[in-house]
């Protein structure tokens, strides 16, 4: 048989799954749980951390979400043990989340055990965890595995985007990370060295054999973990068990999604040194077979795992039900538990799933054994196992492939490998046992129907905890459900002496989503082993839900019997006839009564009119009927009589009425009725007084009498207030007009008094406003008002006017005055200024003058007329003399000016009028004169100076103002320059001071600063004179320039760095060809100005052939300025054996820098003969090949045209050796 060893180097993690025709059994499985009315409770497993991509894993994965483990939620899950749940998780750092729908699935067999190599059985000590499988809500092409432990969570969420790994960050207590394994930035090898036996499959083997399948079969897995696994978790058994159970649970989910059931039946953890040393996967598998004899473990397949990244190997393809235990074993080498603190569990899931797939019958999908014609399924590995052609590479590959890594787990195994494995696992009559499963009536929605007289055998061994609370007894243990329809009889539910554990019974009505507790019991007298018996009455036609559960957490087997205990008709007895008076306020009475009934199972009594209701006045016959649960009845009757003995309630209201114009008023009984009532109705109402007149003005008592329909009466008194609101009438005299009395401001006026009339009589008439008859009335209009009041206080008013006119004019009296003009040459007066005491018999209302303003044109005497006017509009006039005088000083107005210093640096002000800004005088100003102080200035005064200007008018009046005089220096300085020579320093730089170039500079007010346009020089200036412009500036900013020539010299020789010794190797019998040591980098040369330096000579010369020996090497270099330097070192040429026996160490070949941008240097210090360098991208695609045969000690590789990504550089030597380097291109 031809043996082919396959080793595939993969970038990142190889997750090889197959896409074609995935069955999506998990989607159907989750939806089937929804169809059972199962509640998917929501839990929050993580508290999202603010960091999305921390530095703790930035070098391991491109994107991820860091989350905090929610310990309180995990505790609740352990306490509630939900069979289903919803959780929300963020898959990406952009904050987007998905909803996961999960179903709990036990991954352990009933007889599961765990041992350690030091002889301990820790089966009952470990935390087995809570293992869930499911989907992303609404996504049929998704797959989820979540394993929850008390201190961590392990799992994956897979969809079309890839596999999102969930795990705890190394070294953290609570922090977990979620990331897509396609974003890993690491290289890892995946090797499967399982032998290819070349045996092709028949079409029958490749087709699911539904007719010959036993779908309940399970594959029990024995897991043996080497000490390297235990050590990888720091010798912590809890973390080791969590890891193993987590990754195998994920593998089982992949098989379940393609219709195969796997579970763990046995585990051995090596906590002491194990007998496995490898170093290859084949060695590990062989050592595992040698150490594992027949019957050494409990399981169908055995799986050894070590933390040693050497790949995996299965014993073959017939591991199931093979009499030879050796053929049922496989080995998987885990990559490690973490990389850069990031968990990489999905790599381990892939390899263990792959190797177990071999034992269950599947060969590699690139083997020439498929399709019924011995061809391969896919060709993405780049080769086939056998002689068939490579299929097209469009097929993405499967878990059993060697294809592009990072394919989503949702793709499955591919239909053909799945059919092969399913046919082997589920073949009828094979050695596999049926998977343990909960009873079909585990959930309330699946309750089994039981009939009276039946005995039903059941078990709670694999049942779910229902958490229904207290119903006759507490619910603390898992249970199963039954249902029956009550017949109304006394009923018994019993497990008495029919169970092997401590049972409980709880009975409900309602629905599974809204249970209503009816009864329940724990133990019963006479029932051994704390078994249970419950007697209760049922309602005919009612559906009952029965939960059989246990004390504490007890589970086991039982027989449940439903027994009909029978029933008889009830017997009812009515109370005696009842007679009562009506209740106060009611036309009836509330009557309470109770009939009695007896029945074996209890009964319900109904009445034709219920007790506690209102019975009307009169006699009512009541029928009472007793009905038991079986519908049997008995009846009786009695009378209820109600008498009306209650008088009506008379309610009065007080009213007010008005007398009419004749002094009369009347009412009816309804006017004073305030809402009289009677429970049975009012027949009539009446009053004793219904008419009123002026003698009744005020309150009057009126009696209201009310009679009900049964002749009962009652009365009340209302107060009727009679009012007279009609006003009397009054008549005033006509208006009066009179002149003033001579010399007085008024007139004496007389008039007759007004008279009035009223319907009930006048009380009095009186004057309210104005002046009495015969008195003096003032000038103008006076209103006299009178009021009349009747005997009931009603009033009316009338009024008339008395108008007095004034006939006497006022007397005007004047006085002369003198006024002064103001600063503007103006003056104003008012009439009061010239009033000398004008008078009037009443009052002067206004004074006015004909002239009130004066200017310079009015200097001297001016005649002004004063007019006095009284309230009657009468007036008189007089004249006054107004003398106008001027005494105002001039108004000095300044303006700023500027002057320039002369050649001696001085200036004097001759004409001060330059500062006149428009000075004026109140009555002229054409003869103004000006003076300034100070009037002489020097260089010390350059800038703004404050001066005082004095203005004098022709009358000798003066005033002053200030101005700003700006003194300016406009004379340019003088300067002359000289040339200069400078030398560059070791950095190729030189600087000068501008003063170094100045021979002489001068200015009338001094030099403020000197500057040059160029002060810094470098290598570019060597050999070419530089013209520099020097500028001098005085304090006023006047400048002058001159030029100088600066000559720049480079007088510093290059620097050489030679090695002390340099050794090269050549194959024995050949010569060494001398290299250019500066170009190769063995010797470095630097210069302050020249790069690269000029190699003057190298001895021995480049290209010389040297035999083995020691040679002195001398190198001389020069720079562009002719400066020279040299150095000497010893070159040792060593002879080595040929390719077959050379001592080259290929690991000495290195590449740098990493990351790189434009180029990568390949260093070959041992001068190993190289063939080429090949560059691959992350998909394994060859990007570029570089010829390396001429490379000696170093080679530069241009990567500037490559896109930013991670690349694999494969270095090939001439003798066939290979070395890989992973380089990040930025």
pLDDT tens figures, 761-785 = 888 999 999 999 989 999 889 999 9
pLDDT in tens, 1093-1134: 888 889 999 989 999 999 999 999 998 888 999 999 998 888
Burial of 650 (0-12, 13-18, 19+ CB in 10 A): buried
CB 92 within 8 A of CB 63: yes
Residue 519 has pLDDT above 80, yes or no: yes
Residues 255 and 313 in one domain: yes
pLDDT in tens, 433-446: 877 666 778 889 88
Residues 1069 and 1043 in one domain: no
The crossing angle, in degrees rounded to 10, of helices 237-257 and 345-359 is 60
pLDDT in tens, 321-345: 999 999 999 999 987 654 446 677 7
pLDDT for the residue numbered 14? 29
pLDDT in tens, 1140-1166: 444 567 878 889 998 999 999 999 888
pLDDT for the residue numbered 51? 52
Residues 463 and 550 in one domain: yes
Structural domain ending residue among the three candidates 968, 985, 1002? 968
pLDDT in tens, 266-294: 999 999 999 999 999 999 999 999 999 89
Residues 250 and 112 in one domain: yes
Residue 667 lies in a domain: yes
Measured CA to CA, the distance from residue 1226 to residue 1222 in angstroms comes to 13
pLDDT > 70: percent of the chain: 93
Residue 707 has pLDDT above 70, yes or no: yes
Average pLDDT over residues 1071-1081: 83
pTM of the prediction?
Answer: 0.46
CB 123 within 8 A of CB 108: no
Residues 964 and 985 in one domain: no
For the chain, the domain total comes to 9
**CA-to-CA dists, residue 265 to 221, 996, 1015, angstroms:** 6, 96, 88
pLDDT for the residue numbered 394? 58
Measured CA to CA, the distance from residue 305 to residue 247 in angstroms comes to 12
**CA-to-CA dists, residue 821 to 473, 669, 824, angstroms:** 119, 96, 8
Residues 1008 and 908 in one domain: no
CB atoms within 10 A of CB 1140: 6
pLDDT in tens, 63-87: 888 888 888 999 988 887 787 899 9
Which residue pairs, CB below 8 angstroms and at least 24 apart, start in 1075-1082? Answer: 1075/1102, 1075/1192, 1075/1193, 1076/1102, 1077/1113, 1077/1115, 1078/1115, 1078/1117, 1080/1192, 1080/1193, 1080/1194, 1081/1193, 1081/1194, 1082/1193
Residue 513 lies in a domain: yes
Q: What's the CATH number where 961 sits?
A: 2.60.40
Residues 247 and 262 in one domain: yes
Residue 4 has pLDDT above 70, yes or no: no
Average pLDDT over residues 742-768: 88
Residues 146 and 181 in one domain: yes
Average pLDDT over residues 817-845: 87
CB 315 within 8 A of CB 341: no
> What's the gap between Cα 711 and its chain centre?
80
Residues 129 and 220 in one domain: yes
Angle ∠(231,232,235) on CA atoms, nearest 5:
40
Measured CA to CA, the distance from residue 581 to residue 568 in angstroms comes to 40
Average pLDDT over residues 1189-1217: 87
Measured CA to CA, the distance from residue 1095 to residue 1100 in angstroms comes to 13
Least confident span in 387-401, 619-633, 1171-1185, 1202-1216? 387-401
pLDDT in tens, 999-1035: 898 888 888 899 999 999 999 999 899 999 999 998 8
Measured CA to CA, the distance from residue 426 to residue 417 in angstroms comes to 14
551 band by pLDDT with thresholds 50, 70 and 90 = very high
Structural domain ending residue among the three candidates 911, 933, 968? 968
Q: Which two tokens stand for residue 1189?
A: 């045969």
Residue 907 has pLDDT above 60, yes or no: yes
Structural domain ending residue among the three candidates 543, 565, 587? 565
Mean of pLDDT over the chain: 86
The SS3 call for residue 228 is helix
Residue 19 has pLDDT above 50, yes or no: no
Pairing mode of beta strands 826-828, 844-849: unpaired
The SS3 call for residue 181 is helix
pLDDT for the residue numbered 115? 96
Burial of 564 (0-12, 13-18, 19+ CB in 10 A): middle
Residue 16 has pLDDT above 70, yes or no: no
Q: Which residues contact 836 (CB under 8 A, 6 or more apart)?
A: 813, 814, 815, 878, 880
pLDDT in tens, 225-243: 999 999 999 999 999 999 9
CB atoms within 10 A of CB 1053: 18
Residue 165 lies in a domain: yes
What is the 3 state secondary structure string of 766-831? EEEECCCCCEEEECEEEEEEEEEEECCCCEEEEEEEEEEECCCCCECCECCEEEECCCCCEEECCH
Boundaries of domain holding 1045: 974-1049
pLDDT in tens, 654-703: 999 999 888 889 999 999 999 999 888 899 999 999 999 988 999 999 99
What size, in residues, is the chain? 1226
706 band by pLDDT with thresholds 50, 70 and 90 = very high
- What's the half-sphere exposure (Cβ side, CA atoms, 13 Å) at 364? 30
Residue 955 has pLDDT above 70, yes or no: no
Buried b (16+ CB within 10 A) or exposed e, 302-316: bbbbbbbebbbbbbb
Residue 344 lies in a domain: yes
Angle ∠(236,241,245) on CA atoms, nearest 5:
155
Q: Which two tokens stand for residue 314?
A: 């299965």
Measured CA to CA, the distance from residue 629 to residue 487 in angstroms comes to 7
> What's the gap between Cα 87 and its chain centre?
18
What's phi and psi for 232, nearest 5 deg? -60, -25
Residues 1035 and 931 in one domain: no
**CA-to-CA dists, residue 586 to 577, 582, 590, 642, angstroms:** 21, 6, 9, 11
Residue 461 has pLDDT above 50, yes or no: yes
pLDDT for the residue numbered 1139? 43
Q: Which residues contact 137 (CB under 8 A, 6 or more apart)?
A: 86, 98, 99, 100, 101
Q: Which residues contact 28 (CB under 8 A, 6 or more apart)?
A: none
pLDDT > 90: percent of the chain: 44
Q: Which two tokens stand for residue 398?
A: 């499967």
Residue 380 has pLDDT above 80, yes or no: no
Measured CA to CA, the distance from residue 644 to residue 710 in angstroms comes to 8
Q: Which two tokens stand for residue 1141?
A: 């026996």
Q: What's the CATH number where 1095 sits?
A: 2.60.40.10
Residue 66 lies in a domain: yes
Residues 62 and 188 in one domain: yes
Give the closest residue to 985 by CA, choosing from 897, 934, 1048. Answer: 1048
Dmax over CA atoms of the chain, in Å, equals: 168
CB 598 within 8 A of CB 570: yes
Q: Which residues contact 237 (CB under 8 A, 6 or more apart)?
A: 116, 122, 126, 230, 269, 271
Residue 1163 lies in a domain: no
Of residues 871 and 990, more confidently modeled: 990
Residue 1186 lies in a domain: no
Residues 226 and 340 in one domain: yes
48 band by pLDDT with thresholds 50, 70 and 90 = low
**CA-to-CA dists, residue 589 to 174, 555, 576, 579, 835, angstroms:** 73, 61, 17, 10, 104
**CA-to-CA dists, residue 534 to 476, 493, 531, 630, angstroms:** 19, 5, 11, 19
Angle ∠(695,696,698) on CA atoms, nearest 5:
125
């Amino acid at each position: 048989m031809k043996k082919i060893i396959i080793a595939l180097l993969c970038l990142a993690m190889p997750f090889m799954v197959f896409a074609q025709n995935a069955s999506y059994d998990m989607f159907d499985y989750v939806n089937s749980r929804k169809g059972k009315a199962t509640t998917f409770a929501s839990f929050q497993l993580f508290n999202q951390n603010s960091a999305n991509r921390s530095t703790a894993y930035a070098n391991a994965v491109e994107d991820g979400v860091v989350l905090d483990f929610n310990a309180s939620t995990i505790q609740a899950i352990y306490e509630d043990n939900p069979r289903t749940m919803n959780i929300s998780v963020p898959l990406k750092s952009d904050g987007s989340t998905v909803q996961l729908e999960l179903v709990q699935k036990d991954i352990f067999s009933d007889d599961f055990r765990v041992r350690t190599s030091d002889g301990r059985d820790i089966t009952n000590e470990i935390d087995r965890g809570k293992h869930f499988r499911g989907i992303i809500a609404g996504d049929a092409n998704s797959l989820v595995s979540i394993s929850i432990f008390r201190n961590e969570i392990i799992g994956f969420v897979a969809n079309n985007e890839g596999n999102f790994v969930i795990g705890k960050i190394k070294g953290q207590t609570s922090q977990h990370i979620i990331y897509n394994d396609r974003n890993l930035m690491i290289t890892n090898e995946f090797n499967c060295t399982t032998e290819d036996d070349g045996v092709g499959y028949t079409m029958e083997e490749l087709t699911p054999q539904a007719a010959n399948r036993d779908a309940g079969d399970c594959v029990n897995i024995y897991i043996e973990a080497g000490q390297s696994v235990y050590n990888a978790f720091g010798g912590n058994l809890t973390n080791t068990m969590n890891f193993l159970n987590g990754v195998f649970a994920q593998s089982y989910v992949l098989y379940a999604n393609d219709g195969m059931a796997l579970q763990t039946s046995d585990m051995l953890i090596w906590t002491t040194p194990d007998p496995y040393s490898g170093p290859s996967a084949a060695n590990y598998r062989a050592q595992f077979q040698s150490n594992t004899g027949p019957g050494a473990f409990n399981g169908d397949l055995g799986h050894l795992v070590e933390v040693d990244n050497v790949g995996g190997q299965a014993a073959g393809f017939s591991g199931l039900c093979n009499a030879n235990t050796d053929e049922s074993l496989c080995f998987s080498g885990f990559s490690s538990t973490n990389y850069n603190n990031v968990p990489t569990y999905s790599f381990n899931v892939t390899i263990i799933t792959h190797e177990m797939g071999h034992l269950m019958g599947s060969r590699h999908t690139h083997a020439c054994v498929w399709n019924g014609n011995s061809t391969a399924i896919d060709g993405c590995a780049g080769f086939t196992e056998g002689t068939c052609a490579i299929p097209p590479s469009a097929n993405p590959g499967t878990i059993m492939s060697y294809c592009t890594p990072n394919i989503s787990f949702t793709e499955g195994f591919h239909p053909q490998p799945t059919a092969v494995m399913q046919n082997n696992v589920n073949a009828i009559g094979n050695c596999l046992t049926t998977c343990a499963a909960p009873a079909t009536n585990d959930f309330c929605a699946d309750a089994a129907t039981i009939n009276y007289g039946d005995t039903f055998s059941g078990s709670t061994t694999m049942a779910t905890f229902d958490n229904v609370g207290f119903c006759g007894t507490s619910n603390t243990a898992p249970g199963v459900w039954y249902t029956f329809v009550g017949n109304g009889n006394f009923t018994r539910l019993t497990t008495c002496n029919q169970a092997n554990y401590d049972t409980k019974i709880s009975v409900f009505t309602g629905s599974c989503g809204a249970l209503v507790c009816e009864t329940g019991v724990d133990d019963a007298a006479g029932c051994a082993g704390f078994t249970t018996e419950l007697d209760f009455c049922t309602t005919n036609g009612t559906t009952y839900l029965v939960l059989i559960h246990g004390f504490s957490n007890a589970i086991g087997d039982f027989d449940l019997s439903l027994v009909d205990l029978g029933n008889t008709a009830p017997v009812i007895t009515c109370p005696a006839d009842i007679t009562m008076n009506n209740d106060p306020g009611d036309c009836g009475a509330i009557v309470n009564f109770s009939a009695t009934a007896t029945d074996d199972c209890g009964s319900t009594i109904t009445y034709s009119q219920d007790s506690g209701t209102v019975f009307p006045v009169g006699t009512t016959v009541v029928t009472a009927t007793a009905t038991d649960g079986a519908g049997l009845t008995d009846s009786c009757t009695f009378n209820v009589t109600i008498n009306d003995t209650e008088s009506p309630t008379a309610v009065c209201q007080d009213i007010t009425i008005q007398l009419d114009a004749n002094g009369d008023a009347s009412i009816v009984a309804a006017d004073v009725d305030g809402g009289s009532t009677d429970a049975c109705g009012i027949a009539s109402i009446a009053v004793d007084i219904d008419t009123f007149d002026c003698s009744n003005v005020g309150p009057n008592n009126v009696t209201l009498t009310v009679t009900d329909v049964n002749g009962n009466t009652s009365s009340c008194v209302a107060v009727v207030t009679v009012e007279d609101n009609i006003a009397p009438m009054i008549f005033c005299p006509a208006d009066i007009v009179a002149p003033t009395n001579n010399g007085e401001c008024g007139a004496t006026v007389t008039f007759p008094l007004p008279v009035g009339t009223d319907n009930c009589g006048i009380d009095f008439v009186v004057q309210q406003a104005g002046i009495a008859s015969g008195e003096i009335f003032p000038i103008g209009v006076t209103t006299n008002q009178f009021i009349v009041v009747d005997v009931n206080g009603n009033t009316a008013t009338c009024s008339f006017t008395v108008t007095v006119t004034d006939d006497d004019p006022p007397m005007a009296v004047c006085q002369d005055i003198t006024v002064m003009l103001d600063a503007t040459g103006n003056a104003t007066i008012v009439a009061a200024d010239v009033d000398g005491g004008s008078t009037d018999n009443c009052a002067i209302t206004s004074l006015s003058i004909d002239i009130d303003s004066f200017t310079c044109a009015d200097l001297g005497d001016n005649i002004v007329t004063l007019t006095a006017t009284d309230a009657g509009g009468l007036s008189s006039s007089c004249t006054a003399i107004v003398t106008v005088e001027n005494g105002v000083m001039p108004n000095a107005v300044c303006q700023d000016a500027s002057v320039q210093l002369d050649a001696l640096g001085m200036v004097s002000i001759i004409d001060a009028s330059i500062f006149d800004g428009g000075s004026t005088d109140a009555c002229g100003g054409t003869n103004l004169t000006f003076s300034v102080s100070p009037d002489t200035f020097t260089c010390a005064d350059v800038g703004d100076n404050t001066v005082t200007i004095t203005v004098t008018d022709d009358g000798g009046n003066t005033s002053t103002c200030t101005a700003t005089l700006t003194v300016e220096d406009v004379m340019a300085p003088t300067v002359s320059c000289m040339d200069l020579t400078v030398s560059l320093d070791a950095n190729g730089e030189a600087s000068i001071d501008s003063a170094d170039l100045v021979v002489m500079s001068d200015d009338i007010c001094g030099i403020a600063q000197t500057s040059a346009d160029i002060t810094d020089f470098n290598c570019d200036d060597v050999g070419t004179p530089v013209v520099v412009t020097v500028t001098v500036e005085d304090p006023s900013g006047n400048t002058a320039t001159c030029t100088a020539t600066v000559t720049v010299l480079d007088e510093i020789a290059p620097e050489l760095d030679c090695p002390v010794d340099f050794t090269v190797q050549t194959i024995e019998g050949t010569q060494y060809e001398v290299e250019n040591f500066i170009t190769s980098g063995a010797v470095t040369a630097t210069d302050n100005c020249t790069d690269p330096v000029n190699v003057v000579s190298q001895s021995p010369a480049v290209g010389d052939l040297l035999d083995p020996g020691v040679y002195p090497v001398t190198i001389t270099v020069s720079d562009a300025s002719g400066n020279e330097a040299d150095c000497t070192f010893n070159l040792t040429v060593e002879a080595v054996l040929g390719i077959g026996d050379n001592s080259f160490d290929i690991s000495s070949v290195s590449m740098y820098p990493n990351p790189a941008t434009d180029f990568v240097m390949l260093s070959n210090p041992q001068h190993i003969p190289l063939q080429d360098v090949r560059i691959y991208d992350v998909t394994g695609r060859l990007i570029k090949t570089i010829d390396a045969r001429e490379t000696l000690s170093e080679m530069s590789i241009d990567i500037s045209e490559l896109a930013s990504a991670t690349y694999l550089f494969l270095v090939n030597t001439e003798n066939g050796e290979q070395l890989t380097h992973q380089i990040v291109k930025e």
